Each structure stands twice: as structure tokens, then as C-alpha cells.
Chains A and B, each alone.
Chain A
């Protein structure tokens, strides 16, 4: 029995963090945030060299063939660095192809996804969290109609995984006729969301749909939870570092209990949440009966502690904390987007209750 990261897993996370520190320092994130034309292609190239696009693709198809736990560790590193990367598709598209794709579909897409040549986006928000403003997609005769909202990476993806209102899942090519995309400006400037409109857009259905939809939802929840965990760790680290250096009334503010207790409360929330995210990721591959409930709790709990840590770290920084100059707001907003995306905590907990037969 061992509930800890392996040396390989720690190394993966540390080397990804180093790659991100080089390829995506805060100045680089800031440029992306300020320039809508910037697609961070240089960062994607560096991550492709690292092998990240193939993390969830089997070795047969040119990927690394790693588990959800490694994917979650990568997601945590991306959140820690507020890296402008749409990571959900990196993990969910290969998963969907593995569980519901034909051999031909797998052979066509997996190598391109693994190399980073094609990026994938996932449009399952309406199926998981409920449709807003008339969104929703219907499938008929191999064609899709309707719209999908809040699609991370949807503006640029070459392959889009779409859930329809009847529980089916479809692959849509980025250049498919009748597909149009418009940006959804949002609070998190490190990630771009798209509203996708389908007008008789040709699509290929995936098999195994009911089970697949649940697996995609659970995977997304784990990855979002891990991203929040990473962002929160950075916010805690920054608050502690600032509290050790900032002096007022003749001493560092971290020597005041009013400040150090805030830091302790952040750490006391964060550490157990880390164990829950690890377990949810581990259960995704090894304990299918528990996986949905653990994924839901990981998503909901990180959303709650994320809100607390994001505001508390900002408060520990005092006035400088809310300035653009410091840039702490990139983490604050990242956590904010993660909270609502694919279901806010209230919604997710309702699903958690349903999964245990505690709600109708």
C-alpha cells in the first residue's frame, strides 16, 4: 500500500514546471492576455517538445500513455504557472477516441494529437452543467445543429468533441462546413472560451456514448480540480513569501498572528484537498465505482477552497495584491473560471448526492 507520488511522477511534474518557467513566465502570460491575436504558439511548441500533447495518447499511437494521475499532475503544473493552454482537450479527446472511437478514427487522430499538430477542444458544458441562453446541439443524419458555449480552446481547435442533447458524442473537424466560432471574452485572460455554432455541420458519432459521457465529465472535473490546486499553491506560496518580506510597524507582517493565521488557514485547506485530488485521479483509472463521486467532490472542494485562498492571498498582499502590476489577479481569475466551468460547486454537489442515491 502506498499513497504517494512515485519518483517518476514527481520528476514529470518538476520538469514540466521548469519548462513552463522558461516558456511561459509571467511576462509571456501577460502578452497573451493583452493580445487577442496571440495564440501562444511558441508555448505550445515547447510543450510539444516536452511531449505534453501525447500525455494521454497510447504509446502505439505516438503518445506517452500515462494515467489520469499524471494528467492531473500536469494540469496542476499548468494552473500553478497560469499557463495559457487549453488542457482539457489534450486529455479528453484521446480518452474519447479510446473509449468510443473506431480503429480508423483512432489511427487518423491520435498521432496528430500526440505530436501537437492538431489541438482538440471539448464541448460538453451543456450536457454536464445545463444549457444557457438557448444553447444545445441536436444530431440528425450525421449532421449537427445548434450551439455550444464556454468551450475552452474552441477558437483554434482542429478537432472538436461535441455532446448532443440526447447524450450522444460526436467528432467535428475544425474545417467542417457550417461550423462558426466566436470568442466569449471572460474574466480569465489566460484561457479563451468559444461559442460554437453548428448549422448542418457534418460530424462522426462516437460509440459507447452513455458511459463515455460520464467518463469525460469525471476526467474534466479531476483536471479542473488539479488546475485550481496548482493555482492555489502558487497563491499561498506568494502570500507566504510576501509576508516574510513586507515590513510594517517595524517588523515583517508574517510575524503578526492576524496575517500568519490567514496563511495557516490557506495551508490547512489546501493540503487535504491535494490528497483528495490525487485520490480522485487515482480512482479514475483503478476504482471505477468510486471515481464519479470522488471527481465531483474534488471539483467542488477545490472550488470552495479556491475561492477562499484566492481572496485571502490577495488580502495578505494588501493593496498591491489587486494591482495589474503584481499580476496576482491572473491566478485569482483562473481559480474563478475553474469554479464555474462545467458546473459550479452547488451544481456539482447536487450531482454528488445523486450519485449516492441521496437525491432524486
Chain B
């Protein structure tokens, strides 16, 4: 066990810090002044799209987890905006790199990395949530094309995106996992309707997308017809890693500590109330545990040593912890915790209230807590699957 950074890593970190200082005029309060120019600059220096091959528009470095971490830490410390991280960059690009055709890689990866094309993900359907492989949006052959009909839901950036990567059923007679294809198409194709989906936060963070005979060439399938489930699993793997990031959770806990030090109720600082303070300390212990669990996973990525359970628990515990941090913030604010939307007494622009509601969605989304427990007990502990109910 050794957490001291090597001289090489310290030098690398200094290089990143110098870059951020040299370009400090190009960002403020964590936001770039010109997002696409900033993204281009980051790719050029290897601080975004770092390991994507040069021929596809990336920087072309060898994967180095420690350097990635050094970059992340330096950016957080400087409150500098990271590279773009939409679903196209974090999910479609790795999938194309793994299973896309040469033509698909050349056509889509570069513009996606540069922020010229924004993507949305068409996976969940009203009837297919946890049981995603039961999806029923159909793609019927029509000459060289498919005609797609059906409905997707929880499509977060559908109203902004130019493109969708989507799961559709192309082989209705095949077994459920083997009849799905992964397909790419423009959002302005005739027959697509996007309706905002307003949630309990009061905002429409998601959309529903309806398809009526949407014509898409068969050549837009990624990874082969009927292989969509396996292609999608490459992507889902990337999504699980995004949810429950311990560094983000630690940053949130630190904001909560500041809130509890700053706010007073009846002349008493919230932090001086022993009950709230104890709840804070309980959460802090769990936040530290997840942070060091993350270090263990990082080591495991570098050395290849297995840390299966440590990886499987991250989504479940990380999302739960975020929700509990928001819950304590609201409780600690007392009556101020029920204010929302606007007004002179609202704290932090209502972000704690919004998190409390939105994070409940994250406990459900990306594989519900209950699905996570199935995965932990089956893959991590070797317990048997629930036998399927006999068909009537």
C-alpha cells in the first residue's frame, strides 16, 4: 500500500496545472466561455478524449489511469471545466471503438468528440425498464431500410440532440436477447416526435420519444443485426461507472458541512446541534469508505487484481449516499428546507431540494437499487437467480 505519487506523476500534475493557469482567461466558475473552443483545446492537449486514437479525432495517448486521475484532480482544484461528457462521448464513442465499423468510427467519433454532434440514448421503454431486453420498439425491413415504430422514455437530451443511438427489435421471432439491433439515426428524420417529460422536480430533465415509420438505412446498425443487446452491454458498463462517483459525493458532503456551519436556527448554528452533527458524521464515515473503495477500484484497474464486490456496490451505495446527503441538508435547513423555485429566503437556488428529488430518480435509473442487489448477490456472492415464472 503506497499512496505517495511518483515524481513522474507530480511532474505531470504540474504540467496540467500550468496549462490551467495559462488558459485561466478562457473559463470562469467551472464553465468555459466558448464550450467548443475549450473542448478543442482540451483534446489538443490530451485533457479530453485522451485515449481515443488520433485518426478518429482524439489525442491518442496510451491509457494511464493515474494520469487521468491527476488531470481530474487538477481540474477540480482549479474549478476548471472538464471536457464534454454527454452520452455520445461517454457511451456511444467507447461502444463504436469496440464494435463499430471503420466507416462508423470515422464518420461519428470525431464530430462527437468536438461537440458538433450531440447524442441521446434510446433504450428504456414504458413497458421495458429493468427488463430492458423485453423492449418492443420494432424495426421492420423495407428494402435497404428499416421502418421504426414504437416509443422510448427517459431520453434525457432528446430535445437537444441531433442523433440517437437506439435499441430496436429487428428479429421479432428470435429469443428476446437475440432479436435486438443497435442503430444510429438523426433526430430530424420524419416520423420522430419528442415530448418533454416533466418530473417531480418541476423540470423536464427527460423526454419521451415517439416513432412512426421512421425510415433508417440498415447500414446504420452497429455491431451486426440481432447483436444489439451485446453491443448495448458494452455501453451500460460505461454508464454504471458514471453513477455514484465518490469524488462528486465528497464534494457534496463538503458543501453540506459549509451549509451547516453557515446557517443558524434561533441563533444556534446547525453544526452545533448534536443530532444534526451526528447525522453528518455518520454520512462522513460512509463517504470516506466509498472514497477509499474508489481507490481500491482504481488500483484494481491498474493492476488487474480483482475487486468484484467493491465494484458492484458503487452504484447502489453512491446514489443512496447522495440522496441521504441531500436529505440531511433539507432537514438541517428546517422550514427553509421546504422553500423552492424562487424567493429571497431560498438557499443555494433550491439545489438541495432539487437534488433530494432528482437523486431519488438516480437510485431508480441506470439499474434500480433492487436490480443492483440482484447483481451483487448473483455475480458477487454466487446466489442463484430467481426462477422465472412458468408461462401461463
Interface on A for B, CB 8 Å cutoff? 1-6, 9, 69, 240, 243-244, 251-252, 254-257, 260-261, 263-265, 267-268, 271-276, 278-279, 282, 286, 294, 297, 300-301, 304, 346, 349-350, 352-353, 358-360
Contact = CB atoms under 8 A, between A and B. Distances in A.
Contact of A3 (B272, B292, B378, B384): B292
Contacts of B316: 264, 268
B381 A301 contact: no
A275 B292 contact: yes
Contact of A272 (B4, B293, B299, B380): B293
Contact of A2 (B9, B303, B382): B303
B386 A268 contact: no
Given A244-B383, A255-B384, A5 B293 contact: no
A3 B3 contact: yes
Contacts of B261: 358
B241 to A, nearest CB: 16
B377 A271 contact: no
Contact of B373 (A3, A265, A272, A297): A265
B281 A300 contact: yes
A286 B4 CA distance: 10
A255 B384 CA distance: 5
B309 A278 contact: no
B2 to A, nearest CB: 5
A264 B278 contact: no
29 contacts: A1-B4, A1-B9, A2-B1, A2-B299, A2-B303, A4-B299, A4-B300, A244-B384, A251-B387, A254-B377, A255-B387, A263-B381, A264-B374, A268-B316, A271-B293, A272-B292, A275-B293, A275-B310, A276-B288, A279-B288, A282-B3, A286-B3, A294-B288, A297-B285, A297-B288, A297-B289, A301-B285, A349-B278, A352-B285
Contacts of B298: 1, 3
A-B interface, 9 closest residue pairs, ranked by CB to CB distance from nearest = A272-B289, A275-B292, A264-B373, A349-B281, A260-B377, A264-B376, A3-B295, A297-B285, A276-B289
Given A3-B298, A349-B281, A272 B3 contact: no
Contacts of A359: 271-272, 274, 277
Interface residues on B, range: 35 or more
A272 B317 contact: yes
A349 to B, nearest CB: 4
Contacts of B264: none
A354 to B, nearest CB: 10
Contacts of A6: 1
B386 A275 contact: no
Interface in B252-271: 257, 261, 271
Nearest to A6: B1
A91 to B, nearest CB: 18
Contact of B299 (A1, A264, A273, A346): A1
A243 B376 CA distance: 15
B305 interface: yes
Q: Which one of B3, B300, B385, B386 has the greatest number of beta carbons of chain A within 10 Å? A: B3
B380 A267 contact: yes
A294 B261 CA distance: 21
A107 B336 CA distance: 64
B106 interface: no
Interface of B: 1-6, 9, 66, 257, 261, 271-272, 274, 277-278, 280-282, 284-286, 288-290, 292-293, 295-296, 298-300, 302-303, 305, 307, 309-310, 313, 316-317, 370, 372-374, 376-378, 380-387
B282 A304 contact: yes
A263 B1 contact: no
Contact of B383 (A2, A255, A272): A255
Contacts of A300: 281-282, 285
A313 to B, nearest CB: 13
A243 B384 CA distance: 10
Contacts of A254: 377, 383-384
A301 B289 contact: yes
Contact of A279 (B281, B282, B292, B376): B292
Given A267-B313, A268-B317, A294-B288, 11 more contacts: A4-B303, A4-B305, A6-B1, A244-B383, A261-B377, A265-B373, A272-B310, A272-B313, A282-B1, A350-B278, A359-B277
B292 A260 contact: no
A300 to B, nearest CB: 6
Contact of A268 (B3, B272, B274, B376): B376
A278 B296 CA distance: 10
Contacts of A276: 285, 288-289, 292
A3 B292 CA distance: 8
Contacts of A1: 2-6, 9, 66, 298-299, 302
A82 to B, nearest CB: 22
A139 to B, nearest CB: 33
A350 B274 contact: yes
Contact of A267 (B257, B284, B296, B376): B376
Given A261-B373, A264-B376, A297-B284, A273 B1 contact: no
A265 B372 CA distance: 10
B278 A244 contact: no
B370 A261 contact: yes
Contacts of B290: 272
A262 to B, nearest CB: 9
A51 to B, nearest CB: 21
Nearest to B1: A282
A346 B370 contact: no
Nearest to A348: B281
A260 B384 CA distance: 9
A346 B386 contact: no
Nearest to B303: A4
A37 B78 CA distance: 64
A120 to B, nearest CB: 27
Given A1-B299, A272-B292, A240 B381 contact: yes
Contacts of A297: 281, 284-285, 288-289
A279 B302 CA distance: 19
